[in-house]
Amino acid sequence: MTTAPTAHPHIEHELFPYKEMADAIRFLSIDAVNQANSGHPGMPMGMADITTVLFSDFMRFNPQKPDWLNRDRFVLSNGHGSMLLYSSLHLLGYDVSIEDIKNFRQLNSKTPGHPEYGHTPGVETTTGPLGQGIANGVGLALAQKIMAAKHGEELFNNKTYVAVGDGCLMEGISHEAAEFAAHNKLDNLIVLFDSNGISIDGKTDMAVSTDNLERFKAYGWAVKSADGHDHDAIHHALSWAQSQTQPVLIEFKTHIGYGSKKMQDTAKVHGSPLGADEANAVREELGWDHPPFEVPAHIYSAWHKAAARGQASYMKWHEQWEKTPTEKREAILNGQRPSEKALHALDLVKKDAVSETPKLATRQASGACIDAFQPHMDSLVSGSADLTGSNNTKPLDYKKVSAEDYNGNYIHYGVREHAMAAIMNGLSLYGGHGRGLRPISGTFLVFADYLRPSLRLSALMNQPVTYVLTHDSIGLGEDGPTHQPVEHLAMLRATPGLTTWRPCDLVETAECWQAILCDTKHPAVLALSRQGVPTLRTTHVKENLSSQGGYVLRKEQGQLAGIFIATGTEVEIAVKAHEELQKQGIHTRVVSMPSVETFLKQTKAYRDDVLPPDHQQRVVIEAASTFGWSAIAPFGKVLGMTSFGASAPAPELYEHFGLTADHAVQAMTELTTS
């Protein structure tokens, strides 16, 4: 016989009927998963009591204003248990109807298999890949600290609550994020650990024996354990958490599949529907005498009463917001958008570059651009994964974000690339919809492998985070193939919603930054070189030519014979080949293509103007994998990498792998004479 949750009589009977409220979550979750014949009922059944007490007594939110800037955030890192969140949102009065609950996991419903940001009101971030949510939560908590330091605690004083499971804490990203949170003393972060000891394969002790309380205590967290089915214990643990001066981990001991004699504490209930017979058995066990998808009016009333607390908090905050000077409010509401001064500063970089024609690595060019526009974007928060000097992401007026002073503009992420990307997602999500903070950060392009899971979610959530990825080819030289990216540009370009930019000089770098800053709906990668490149754009034009992805950099001087297409450092090679063939009376044009995917999105008329369809004699030059270039040069030649790199000085490597002007001339000659 399952023991019913116990609760303090005062809490249970005078304020909220916690047991019935929690059971409403349980049975909406059971019924939705049964109807879909797909899903994860066990976790919602186990975490229902914790969630009920949290939303009833501690969370500040307003279902009528789900984007309220100072709301408390609730992140479901163990996102497979999405029905826990959907049931709660429905009961609280968010725009999630009972029909949405019935349509769980169906096409175009508001209740997809895992929570999706921007898809369901009340969902703070897209979760499902385990560990992402806790790292996003760290970013959300850090964002509150930064916003409070910049704009005042009277406007920004919320907390972030993150639900995690055993699997989240097994993932390596949880270590990176938790260590970072402790170092930065994020006392506004409270993690609720659903410690049920079960994973898909069975009991977690088959694979792990870590004492997570001791682990997090060693990081510098405040830790506590409590019974996740005892409402009084839950309430006291959450009350304790409010006054801690460190990030908090509460380990709630729970039973997965709570209430099911047949499936409780088994792996089967993790990811399989209970079925009608067992659902009925659980109803009898817990005393829930209501048919599927039916919740009594008095239970809805209790949940709406819980939501009403947040409405009162919202009204008090809104009064303060209305008293805030218009200029400050506008800065907050448009924090992710570039100011005209920022864009103008980049125009000045272009003008100076044309007149001075410097030879710079594009990573240095990017640093000059950041120095130019950062003073005009107070919301910009830059950073690096321990490669500050290499990535050139530190602005001239550098001020470190730290536990001693959160009002900075630069974050030292340490050697934590994966957490860095997920934290940046949290920083961006805190404001959302163009508001709040605009994060950028750097590492080497080859370490996009470490960024990839979080970077993919940046794209899935349409967050305007910018990844400055330097040392972008074999041109980094002696560090060798472990550090020379080959397949990475192709991987990034293949990611939906992500825009990859690879500029050829300082002028293009400034234009790429303009395009990136103006796009507040997509993440971007800026791939930058270690080696110096000359200024190839020698005439100033106001128009941002790079923003169209590709354009004619050098025109043919006679009848067009062929087209060179190149990106980044290889544009210089294309220009040299073009000039050599010009001497031979063979007329070619050079197309610089800093963003392949952006070019392919242009109108057919524009693409045909740059790359005339009747001129298929095309030579592509890029010191990276040749994969993907068939869309640009289906009948041409691609000079690129078909293997990993090697350790040697950059000029020797370019010669060794056939990436020189001589090889480009030979390739074009073969195309135009065949």
**Residues identified as active-site:** 417
Helices (H) and strands (E) in the chain, counts: 26, 20
Contacts for 557 with CB less than 8 Å, ≥ 6 apart: 582, 587
Structure tokens that stand for 571 in this block: 């544009």
How many other CB atoms sit within 10 Å of the CB of residue 99? 11
Q: Quick check: 37 and 20 in contact, CB under 8 A?
A: no
Structure tokens that stand for 140 in this block: 């959300």
* Nearest-angstrom CA–CA distance, 115 and 388: 34
Q: Judging by beta carbons within 10 Å of its beta carbon (0-12, 13-18, 19+), is residue 210 exposed, middle or buried?
A: exposed
Specify the residue for token string 């643990």.
237
Specify the residue for token string 């998963």.
33
* Nearest-angstrom CA–CA distance, 235 and 18: 11
Give the phi and the psi of residue 492 in degrees, each rounded to 5. Answer: -65, -40
Closest CA to 248 of 224, 228, 226: 224
Q: Quick check: 655 and 673 in contact, CB under 8 A?
A: no
Q: Judging by beta carbons within 10 Å of its beta carbon (0-12, 13-18, 19+), is residue 123 exposed, middle or buried?
A: buried
- The beta strands (E) that lie in 492-538 are given as 499-501, 524-527, 532-533
Closest CA to 373 of 318, 277, 440, 306: 440
Angle at 30 between CA 24 and CA 36, to 5 degrees: 130
* Nearest-angstrom CA–CA distance, 342 and 335: 12
Closest CA to 391 of 416, 361, 420, 419: 361
Q: Which residues of 494-514 are buried (b: 16+ CB within 10 A; e: fewer)?
A: ebeebbbbbbbbbbbbbbbbb
Q: Residues for the chain: how many in total?
A: 674
* Nearest-angstrom CA–CA distance, 448 and 467: 9
Q: Quick check: 502 and 472 in contact, CB under 8 A?
A: yes
Structure tokens that stand for 368 in this block: 């000059």
Q: Quick check: 374 and 395 in contact, CB under 8 A?
A: yes
Closest CA to 453 of 87, 219, 126, 114: 126
Q: Quick check: 549 and 603 in contact, CB under 8 A?
A: no
Residue 163 DSSP SS3: strand
Q: Quick check: 373 and 513 in contact, CB under 8 A?
A: yes
